[in-house]
Amino acid sequence: GAVVSQHPSWVICKSGTSVKIECRSLDFQATTMFWYRQFPKQSLMLMATSNEGSKATYEQGVEKDKFLINHASLTLSTLTVTSAHPEDSSFYICSARVIGPKEAFFGQGTRLTVV
């Protein structure tokens, strides 16, 4: 199946700094990618839909100015957590779709810890 790669797998940053997470589709083009956040012992929560060449669509309650999404090419979407705080510590996962009734492909996730 198709491969979605996230980088980094884990990151520790200081409070107030910004962190960028990359999501790449390695063997297919993804016009749409999705970003999820997962807190311990909870399910994945969709944050936003990233569309190549246009602005991302954010789910209700997700701060677009805090979670900056850029989808500059058909194989790369980035999520930047700006001015990170300890409550932003979470597991962030990206996903990409192939058009049609096909499965979604997920990255391996990025564990963000803000200290």
Partner 1 sequence: DAKTTQPPSMDCAEGRAANLPCNHSTISGNEYVYWYRQIHSQGPQYIIHGLKNNETNEMASLIITEDRKSSTLILPHATLRDTAVYYCIVRVQRTSYDKVIFGPGTSLSVIP
Give the interface with partner 1 as residue ranges (CB under 8 A). Answer: 1, 4, 6, 32, 34, 36, 43-46, 49, 57, 91, 93, 95, 97, 99-101, 103-109, 111
Question: Closer to partner 1 at the Cβ: 53 or 101?
Answer: 101
Q: Cβ of residue 64: shortest distance to partner 1, in angstroms?
A: 17
By CB neighbour count within 10 A (0-12 exposed, 13-18 middle, 19+ buried), where does 22 fall? middle
Residues in the chain: 115
Cis peptide before 8 (omega within 30 of 0): yes
How far is C-alpha 81 from the geometric centre of its chain's CA atoms? 10
Q: Cβ of residue 93: shortest distance to partner 1, in angstroms?
A: 5
Q: Note whether 79 and 92 are within 8 A (CB).
A: yes
Question: Closer to partner 1 at the Cβ: 20 or 111?
Answer: 111
Partner residues linked to 69 by β-bridges: 79
Question: Closer to partner 1 at the Cβ: 99 or 115?
Answer: 99
Q: Cβ of residue 109: shortest distance to partner 1, in angstroms?
A: 5
